[in-house]
Amino acid sequence: MGINNFRNLTRARGLENAIVTSILLFLYNIIFPIHDSLILSSINEILVYLTIYFLYSYIFPYLESKTDSPLSLVLNAGILGALVFFIVSISNSVFNSFTVSNGNVNVFNTLFSIVITFVFLGALVYIFSTFRELFFLRQKKDPRTYFNTMLVFFSLAFFSNLLIKIDSSFDYPHDAFFVVSIVLISLNSLRVSWIAFLVKRQKLYLLIISTILSILFGFNFGLLTETNTIRELLYTFSPGLYDVFSLVMIYGMIYFGVIFFTTLFHLPTAEAFDRKAEEVTSLMDLTKLITQVFDFKELAGTITNITAKVCNSYSAWLVTKKNNDYELNSVKDIAYIEADKITRLILAGEENELQRVQTIYYDSVTSDIKNVMNGLKSIAVAPLKVHGEISGFLFTARQRDVNFDEDEKKSLQAFADYAAVALENAKLIAESIEKERMEKELDVARDIQRKILPDRVPETEHLKTSALFIPAFEVGGDYYDFFRLDNSRLGFVVADVSGKGISAAFIMAEVKGIFESLSKLLTNPRELLIKVNDILKDSLDRKNFVTVIYGIIDETTGVLTFARAGHTPALLCSKNKIEKLQPSGIGIGLDYSSEFANTLKEMQIVLANEDIIAFYSDGIPEAKNASDEDFGYNRFEKIILENRTKNLDQISNALMKELSLFSKDHSQHDDITLVLFKWISKN
Amino acid sequence: MADFNVSLRGVGPVSVIDVKGYLDAHTAPELENVFNKLLDEKQYRVVVNFNDLKYISSAGLGVFMAYVETMRENKGDIKFSNMTESVYNIFDLLGFPILYEFYKEENEALLKFNEQGKS
pLDDT higher than 60, residue A98: no
ipTM: 0.91
Contact criterion met (CB < 8 Å) for A595 and B59? no
Name the residue among A229, A198, A228 with its Cα closest to residue A98. Answer: A229
Contact criterion met (CB < 8 Å) for A541 and B63? no
Residue A629 φ/ψ, nearest 5 degrees: -85, 150
Between A585 and A504, residue with greater pLDDT: A585
Give CA–CA dist B7/A252, Å, rounded.
85
Cα–chain-centroid distance for residue A385? 19
Q: Which fold has domain B1-82?
A: Transcription Regulator spoIIAA (3.30.750)
Distance from the Cα of B45 to chain A's closest Cα (Å) equals: 19
Distance from the Cα of B38 to chain A's closest Cα (Å) equals: 18
Report chain A residues whose CB lies below 8 A from the CB of B29.
none
For B63, name the nearest residue in chain A, comparing CA atoms only.
A543
Report chain A residues whose CB lies below 8 A from the CB of B24.
669
pLDDT higher than 70, residue A12: no
Cβ-based neighbour number of residue A598 at 10 Å: 12
Query: Rounded to the nearest 10 degrees, what angle do helices A406-452 and A296-310 cross at?
Result: 180
Query: What are the C-alpha distances in Å from A616 to residues A182, A330, A549, A566?
Result: 106, 56, 9, 13
Strand partners, A573: A578, A612
pLDDT higher than 50, residue A102: no
CATH of A456-679, one of 3.40.50.10800, 1.10.1660.10, 3.60.40.10, 3.20.20.70: 3.60.40.10
pLDDT higher than 90, residue A529: yes
Contact criterion met (CB < 8 Å) for B65 and A586? no
User: How large is the C-alpha radius of gyration of chain A?
Assistant: 49
Look at residue A3 in the predicted model and tell me its pLDDT: 57
Contact criterion met (CB < 8 Å) for A542 and B66? yes
Look at residue A5 in the predicted model and tell me its pLDDT: 62
Look at residue A284 in the predicted model and tell me its pLDDT: 82
pLDDT higher than 80, residue A411: yes
| pLDDT mean over A324-332 | 86
- Taking only the tens place, the pLDDT of each residue in A233-292 is 888 888 888 889 899 999 999 999 999 999 998 888 888 888 788 778 887 877 777 766
When scoring A502, A542, A625 by the number of chain B Cβ atoms within 10 A, the one with the most, hence best to mutate, is: A542
Look at residue A568 in the predicted model and tell me its pLDDT: 95
CB A491 within 8 A of CB A473: no
Where do you find CATH 3.30.450.40 in chain A? 293-430
Q: Which fold has domain A293-430?
A: Beta-Lactamase (3.30.450)
Note if the pTM is more than 0.80: no
Contact criterion met (CB < 8 Å) for A595 and B99? yes
Give CA–CA dist A666/A193, Å, rounded.
69
Contact criterion met (CB < 8 Å) for B94 and A547? yes
When scoring B1, B22, B58, B99 by the number of chain A Cβ atoms within 10 A, the one with the most, hence best to mutate, is: B58
Sign (positive or negative) of CA dihedral A652, A654, A657, A658? negative
CB B81 within 8 A of CB B97: no
Residue A105 binned pLDDT confidence (cut-offs 50, 70, 90): low
Residue A655 binned pLDDT confidence (cut-offs 50, 70, 90): very high
For B32, name the nearest residue in chain A, comparing CA atoms only.
A543
Look at residue A163 in the predicted model and tell me its pLDDT: 84
Look at residue A104 in the predicted model and tell me its pLDDT: 54
Residue A675 binned pLDDT confidence (cut-offs 50, 70, 90): very high
When scoring B93, B100, B102 by the number of chain A Cβ atoms within 10 A, the one with the most, hence best to mutate, is: B93
- Taking only the tens place, the pLDDT of each residue in B2-11 is 588 999 998 8
Look at residue A584 in the predicted model and tell me its pLDDT: 94
For A544, name the nearest residue in chain B, comparing CA atoms only.
B62
Give CA–CA dist A548/B93, Å, rounded.
11
CB A359 within 8 A of CB A379: yes
Share of chain A above pLDDT 70, in %: 95
pLDDT higher than 50, residue A1: no
Domain boundary assignment for chain B = 1-82
Q: Where are the beta strands (DSSP E) in B1-119?
A: 4-11, 14-23, 45-56, 77-81, 101-103
- Taking only the tens place, the pLDDT of each residue in A136-182 is 888 777 788 888 999 999 999 888 888 888 887 888 888 899 999 99
Between A310 and A608, residue with greater pLDDT: A608
pLDDT higher than 70, residue A367: yes
Q: Out of A496, A566, A618, whose CB is closest to B95?
A: A566
Distance from the Cα of B98 to chain A's closest Cα (Å) equals: 8
- Taking only the tens place, the pLDDT of each residue in B15-56 is 999 999 999 888 899 999 999 999 999 999 999 999 999 889
When scoring B65, B78, B84, B100 by the number of chain A Cβ atoms within 10 A, the one with the most, hence best to mutate, is: B65
Query: What are the C-alpha distances in Å from A59 to residues A177, A476, A481?
Result: 26, 81, 92
SS3 assignment, position A502: helix
Contact criterion met (CB < 8 Å) for B99 and A566? no
Look at residue A607 in the predicted model and tell me its pLDDT: 94
Contact criterion met (CB < 8 Å) for B66 and A590? no
Mean residue pLDDT of chain A comes to 86
SS3 assignment, position A57: helix
Q: Out of A566, A628, A630, whose CB is closest to B94?
A: A566
Give CA–CA dist A671/A470, Å, rounded.
6
Distance from the Cα of A545 to chain B's closest Cα (Å) equals: 8
Look at residue A439 in the predicted model and tell me its pLDDT: 86
| pLDDT mean over B69-86 | 93
Look at residue B1 in the predicted model and tell me its pLDDT: 47
Residue B78 binned pLDDT confidence (cut-offs 50, 70, 90): very high
Between B16 and A309, residue with greater pLDDT: B16
Query: Rounded to the nearest 10 degrees, what angle do helices A38-64 and A239-292 cross at?
Result: 10
Contact criterion met (CB < 8 Å) for A568 and B86? no
Report chain B residues whose CB lies below 8 A from the CB of A599.
95, 98
Report chain B residues whose CB lies below 8 A from the CB of A445.
none
CB A292 within 8 A of CB A305: no
Cβ-based neighbour number of residue A594 at 10 Å: 9
Report chain B residues whose CB lies below 8 A from the CB of A570.
none
Look at residue B48 in the predicted model and tell me its pLDDT: 95
Report chain B residues whose CB lies below 8 A from the CB of A569.
93
Give CA–CA dist A377/A248, Å, rounded.
55
Look at residue A17 in the predicted model and tell me its pLDDT: 84
Which ranges in A95-171 belong to alpha helices (H)? Answer: 107-136, 144-159, 161-166
Q: Out of A568, A599, A630, whose CB is closest to B93?
A: A568
Cβ-based neighbour number of residue A162 at 10 Å: 17
Report chain A residues whose CB lies below 8 A from the CB of B93.
547, 566-569, 582, 618
Report chain A residues whose CB lies below 8 A from the CB of B58.
496, 498-499, 545
Chain A residues within 8 Å of chain B (Cβ atoms): 496, 498-500, 541-545, 547, 565-569, 582, 584-587, 589-591, 595, 599, 618, 628, 630, 669
Q: Out of B62, B86, B94, whose CB is closest to A544?
A: B62
Distance from the Cα of B100 to chain A's closest Cα (Å) equals: 11
Where do you find CATH 3.60.40.10 in chain A? 456-679
Between A657 and A136, residue with greater pLDDT: A657
Between B54 and A109, residue with greater pLDDT: B54
Q: Out of B24, B58, B98, whose CB is closest to A599?
A: B98
Contact criterion met (CB < 8 Å) for B55 and A587? no
Contact criterion met (CB < 8 Å) for B99 and A590? yes
Sign (positive or negative) of CA dihedral A226, A228, A234, A238? positive
